[in-house]
Structure 1
């Protein structure tokens, strides 16, 4: 790829590419909240069309969850995971990731939690 840019702009682009190359091998988890896998993994998910499907919790944080499901609503869709209101933030290979409208409190968040 050839980029036509001023010397200063080209230097900034090269610096950015070097930074991205350096981070490419970084496999550390950069999510802000710690993740757990609850004992009870099965959860009902109410989709935007009011259809309810069963999903499996891949992992759970105080602010959201990754869910394995064959149904994949679009990002930005409002869903209900168990009794928690959530928004789909992305689709994954196995399902969706959601952010809860109200996060868990640290006192109630543990492997025994039931959505």
Structure 2
């Protein structure tokens, strides 16, 4: 989180919080600071805090917050709440190349043996994206053509399914049929 810090002897300077722990708050700044300096810091979305510099090495410095461990605990809670509010989900890394096959219509067989028609949006060695009119539960095992797969995600009118036994990457091409 960005912070604006100052004291009576030093002009305002910017810093970025890099860690919050029982030791204090660690910042990074282009300003060169000295241990023992008192600071007032305004941290975006957190507020004002009074602190003392405990360590300063290169561009990093660590402060202890006035008010003791309870003040630091409250700050840590605020930082955790802010990080949760961001809802950062890691991006899915696609391992296998996806293609759109020429044969897009496929028979999808559900757990109970019911067969429905599916439309292949794309396919890779590890999975398939299908448009299906039937509601499928995440985790359900389905058969896509001759290949068993597990439903992993939903999207509008369709599902993403991972093959229980992936194809060899060389077997995935436009002319393939499931």
Q: Same fold (TM over 0.5)?
A: yes
Residue 101, structure 1, aligned to residue 164, structure 2 = yes
Contact 1:72 1:91 in 2 (8 A): no
Residue 72, structure 1, aligned to residue 140, structure 2 = no
Structure 1 residue 43: Cα displacement = 0.5
Structure with a larger share of its residues in strand: 2
Residue 53, structure 1, aligned to residue 116, structure 2 = yes
Counterpart CA distance in 1 for 2:174 and 2:92 is 20
Q: What is the match of residue 17 of structure 2? A: none
Secondary structure of residue in 2 paired with 1:55: strand
- CA root-mean-square deviation: 2.3
Q: Which has the larger radius of gyration?
A: 2
Secondary structure of residue in 1 paired with 2:106: strand
Secondary structure of residue in 2 paired with 1:6: helix
Residue 14, structure 1, aligned to residue 82, structure 2 = yes
Structure 1 residue 19: Cα displacement = 8.3
Structure 1 residue 37: Cα displacement = 0.5
Counterpart CA distance in 1 for 2:161 and 2:130 is 8
Q: What is the match of residue 31 of structure 1? A: 94
Normalised TM-score (structure 1): 0.78
Structure 1 residue 11: Cα displacement = 2.3
- Give CA deviations for 1:28-69 in whole Å, capped at 9, x if unaligned: 874332211011101000011211111100111111111001
Residue 147 (structure 2) aligned to one of 84, 90, 111: 84
Structure 1 residue 112: Cα displacement = 1.3
Secondary structure of residue in 2 paired with 1:107: helix
Select the structure with the greater relative contact order (CA < 8 A; seq sep ≥ 6): 1
Normalised TM-score (structure 2): 0.52
Contact 2:122 2:128 in 1 (8 A): yes
